[in-house]
Amino acid sequence: MIFKYFVILFMTTCSMALPLSASDLEELDQLLAEKEYHTVLETIFPHAQTGDVDAQLLLAKMYYEGKGLEKDYNKASYWVCRASETDNFKANKVRIKMSMSMISEDYQPPQCSSVLDILKN
């Protein structure tokens, strides 16, 4: 198990400019299920900062759900909006769902001023 963490960290440091692969995302999902939040964050944060949409969405989800991080809708909004700036269909879909959910909880996401603005993008 420890070897797997080192492999993920090694892959991350060797391929900072490369996006996460489907197999990387599967391993990260497994680590999330095992509540290995620190390892997931160490892996995805550098990717999210360099514009990897999947990493940004996963980070947004972790902030949104409070998994491994304090629940923070502002930071969740920030990362999901950064992901959707690429006009990625999946990112825009997640942005709409997350914003609708936040609005239903009487929270207005700061980066996404309204559902109508989201649909225009």
Residue with tokens 């497994």: 30
Rg over alpha carbons for the chain, rounded to the nearest Å, is 15
Residue 67 has which token pair?
């998994």
pLDDT tens per residue, range 23-80: 888 999 899 899 999 999 999 999 999 999 999 999 999 999 999 999 998 899 899 9
Predicted confidence at residue 37, as pLDDT, reads: 93
Predicted confidence at residue 121, as pLDDT, reads: 45
Ordered by where they begin, the domains of the chain are 2-7+21-120 (1.25.40.10)
| Identity of the amino acid at 75 | K
Asked whether 121 and 94 are in contact (CB, 8 A), the reply is: no
CA 56 to chain centre: 4
pTM for this one?
A: 0.71
CA distance 103 to 106: 5
